[in-house]
Structure 1
Amino acid sequence: MWPLLWTALRTYAPYVTFPVAFVVGAVGYNLEWFIRGTPKPQEEEKSIFEQREERKLQEQAGTDGTQVLSLKEKLEFTPKAALNRNRPEKS
């Protein structure tokens, strides 16, 4: 009789273990919730993106948005292209 029982358990193991695991998990979840009590409402943390956007807005708050650098001023600080380094510069 024992070999027949072990063969049946081995064959139908997934059908037996899933409901058992489900019940054990549900009991454990509810037991833990009962022991800990109701969770306190937590303040949501802001994402890194939201923190960055707020910081950028605060930095821009004291400046005038209409005063920007011209394109020529920005181009003076950019490095020259690698392919144009050996060409003589035109004056």
Structure 2
Amino acid sequence: MWPILMQFLRSNAPYITFPIAAVVGIIGYNLEGLISDRYTPYSKPIQDQRLERLEDESLKDPTNVEKLKYRENVLGKNVSPSLQTN
């Protein structure tokens, strides 16, 4: 009896597993919908944010650009402790 049942299950595996997988998927999808929060806050498009930032930067003093100021030696940033000078 068992060999006949196993042969039937083996030959019809896709027809048996697909409905089971569909039911598990539907239950999981609905359970996730109940548990999780689907609210995504609104944010402005990146292009609009960039335009506003460029407008804000253009209103500042053009001679005082912080990116162009010399701060320190670039090569001295990630120095190992044995090479640091005190």
> Could you tell me the TM-score, scaled by structure 1's length?
0.45
Structure with larger Rg: 1
> Could you tell me the TM-score, scaled by structure 2's length?
0.47
